[in-house]
A and B are shown apart, each in its own frame.
Chain A
Amino acid sequence: MNSPTEEPTWLRRALIAFAFIHVALMIILPFASVIAQACSDGIATFTRTFGSRDTIHAIKLTLLIALIAVPLNTLVGIAIAWGFTHVKIPGKRTLLALLDLPFSISPVVVGFLFILLLGKHGLFGGWLEARGIKVIFAFPGLLIATLFVTMPYIAKELIPLMDGRGREEEEAARLLGAGWWRIFWKITFPEIKWGLLYGIILCTARSMGEFGAVAVVSGNIRGRTNTLPLHVEALFQDGDLPAASAAASVLAILGIVSLVARTITDIKAKAKN
Chain B
Amino acid sequence: MAIQVNNIHKSYAGTKVLNGLSLQVNDGELIALLGPSGCGKTTLLRIIAGLEQPDQGTVLCDGLSTDEVKPGDRKVGFVFQHYALFRHLSVFENIAFGLRAKPRSERPSEEEIKRKVASLLDLIQLDWIAKRLPQQLSGGQRQRVALARVLAIDPKYLLLDEPFGALDAKVRLELRRWLRDRHHDLGVTTIFVTHDQEEALDVADRIVLVNSGKVEQEGTPDQLYNHPKTPFVCDFLGFVNTITIQGRAYHVRPHEIKLSREPIELSIQLKVNTIRTAGQLVQVELQDNESKPVTVALPHDIFAQVNPIIGETLYATPAIQRTFDAT
Contact = CB atoms under 8 A, between A and B. Distances in A.
Interface of A: 168-169, 171-179, 182, 186-187, 190-191
Interface string B289-303: 000000000000000
Q: Can you list the 8 inter-chain pairs with the closest CB atoms, starting with the nearest? A: A176-B98, A168-B84, A178-B101, A177-B72, A172-B84, A190-B88, A177-B101, A175-B78
Given A177-B73, A179-B72, A187-B86, A171 B51 contact: yes
B150 interface: yes
Interface in B68-85: 71-73, 76-78, 80, 82, 84-85
Contacts of B152: 176
Chain B contact patch, size range: 20 to 34
A164 B30 CA distance: 33
Given A168-B84, A177-B102, A178-B101, 8 more contacts: A169-B86, A172-B78, A174-B72, A175-B76, A175-B150, A177-B98, A177-B153, A191-B88
B90 to A, nearest CB: 13
A186 to B, nearest CB: 7
A7 B78 CA distance: 53
B149 interface: yes
Main secondary structure of the interface of B (DSSP, over half): loop
Contacts of A171: 51, 78, 80, 84
6 contacts: A171-B84, A174-B72, A175-B49, A175-B71, A176-B97, A179-B72
A273 to B, nearest CB: 10
Nearest to A178: B101
A62 B263 CA distance: 100
Contact of B87 (A169, A176, A179): A169
Interface in B85-105: 85-89, 97-98, 101-102
A175 B52 CA distance: 12
A190 B133 CA distance: 14
A179 B103 CA distance: 9
Given A168-B82, A171-B78, A178 B97 contact: yes
B153 A176 contact: yes
B4 to A, nearest CB: 20
* Residue from A172, A178, A182, A190 with most neighbouring chain B CB atoms (10 Å): A172
Contacts, number: 58
Contacts of A187: 86
Nearest to B89: A186
Interface of B: 49-51, 71-73, 76-78, 80, 82, 84-89, 97-98, 101-102, 149-150, 152-153
Contacts of B85: 169
Nearest to A170: B84
Contacts of B102: 177
A173 B51 contact: no
B45 to A, nearest CB: 12
A76 to B, nearest CB: 26
A186 B86 contact: yes
A178 to B, nearest CB: 4
B150 to A, nearest CB: 7
A182 B86 contact: no
Contacts of B150: 175-176
A176 B84 contact: no
A268 to B, nearest CB: 14
Contacts of A168: 80, 82, 84
Contacts of A182: 101
Nearest to A183: B101
B119 to A, nearest CB: 18
B228 to A, nearest CB: 35
A173 B152 CA distance: 13
Nearest to A187: B86
A62 B68 CA distance: 52
B101 A173 contact: yes
B94 to A, nearest CB: 9
A209 B50 CA distance: 48
Contacts of A173: 86, 97, 101
Nearest to A193: B88
Contacts of B149: 172, 176
Given A168-B84, A182-B101, A190-B88, A175 B51 contact: yes
Nearest to B149: A176
Nearest to B152: A176
A191 B86 CA distance: 10
A172 B147 CA distance: 12
A172 B98 CA distance: 10
